Amino acid sequence: MLRGAYCIWERDLKVFSRNLLPELITVVAFPITFFLAFALGLQNYILDIEGVPYAIFVVPGLISMTAAMGAFDDGAWGLWFHRVVQGTISEYRCNPITVYDIILGKIISGFTIACLKGSAIGIILFLLVDFPFRTPFLLSYSLFIFLGSMIFSCIGSICGTVIDKPENLGRLEAVVIWPLIFLAGLFFPLSVYPQKLLPYIKLVPTTALFDGARTALLAGKIDIGYLMILFFCAGLSFISAVIIFEKKMHQ
């Protein structure tokens, strides 16, 4: 039943493995720059946040950011390249592969690649700081990463489906995706927001991902409200990705 999705996942992983080292170097360099600039550069000027040192506070967010953006890039740029440049999507449609197989395959490959990229930066950050790592907490954290990667992969797939010009993909990422990430408490606690604004900020999926994942990794606590938001957004984004992709393929 899922053989088509498995074939797409296998193909994407083979393509990723061919450029594994340059890809990981590029992925690691970006969050490490943020870590050096903010976590190490400001740790002597910022007091402990929520009972933990600032350098440790930002680590879960940087790992989540790397995983989420890895999933988005794989969905957006990968699907755009296969659709516009290589024409791979047309070849998929010539075979007995359904729309669900294609989207599901991209989601699984996006999640796998996101996990690899997140693990790479996670290992480096754990070595740079004395992180209070606890294995049981990692399971709770992985749940948030899975849902977040699914959401970003589906959103990326939608963007790669409807956007034909690569420069527009870059603009959308810069104007929409990155602001949603930075506003979600990546480098600061949500308590800095005004109380009237805070309930709306917590409804944003990126807030549920970053703040929920941080709490899960540092304290082992799962915020049910955040999980409900992520589950809802994951289901909605998957259904939207399937409908939009199928409509695009029939044009």
Question: For 182-205, how does the pLDDT look when each residue is reduced to its tens digit (9 = 90+)?
Answer: 888 888 888 889 989 888 998 899
Helix (H, G, I), strand (E, B) or coil at 246: helix
pTM of the model: 0.84
Number of domains comprising the chain: 1
Report pLDDT for 46. Answer: 74
pLDDT band at 19, cuts 50/70/90? confident
Average pLDDT, whole number, for the chain? 82
Report pLDDT for 109. Answer: 82
DSSP β-bridge partners for residue 52? 49
How confident is the model over 201-217, as pLDDT tens digits?
A: 988 999 999 999 998 98
H helices present in the chain, as ranges: 3-18, 20-34, 41-42, 54-80, 88-94, 99-128, 135-162, 166-172, 178-182, 198-201, 205-219, 224-249
Q: What angle do CA 107, 211, 233 make, to 5 degrees?
A: 40
CA atoms within 13 A on the CB side of 185: 25
Residue 45 has pLDDT above 80, yes or no: no
Residue 8 has pLDDT above 90, yes or no: no
pLDDT band at 224, cuts 50/70/90? very high
Range of the domain at 10: 3-249
Report pLDDT for 86. Answer: 65
Residue 250 has pLDDT above 70, yes or no: no
Q: Is 234 left (phi over 0), alpha (psi -120 to 50) or beta?
A: alpha
Q: Which residue has the higher pLDDT, 126 or 86?
A: 126
Selection from 33-37, 45-49, 235-239 with the highest mean pLDDT: 235-239
Report pLDDT for 91. Answer: 63
Report pLDDT for 192. Answer: 87
Residue 226 has pLDDT above 90, yes or no: yes
Q: How many C-beta atoms surround the C-beta of residue 195 within 10 A? A: 7
Q: What is the mean pLDDT of residues 169-179?
A: 87
Report pLDDT for 251. Answer: 64
Residue 100 has pLDDT above 90, yes or no: no
Report d(CA 66, CA 20) in Å as an integer.
15
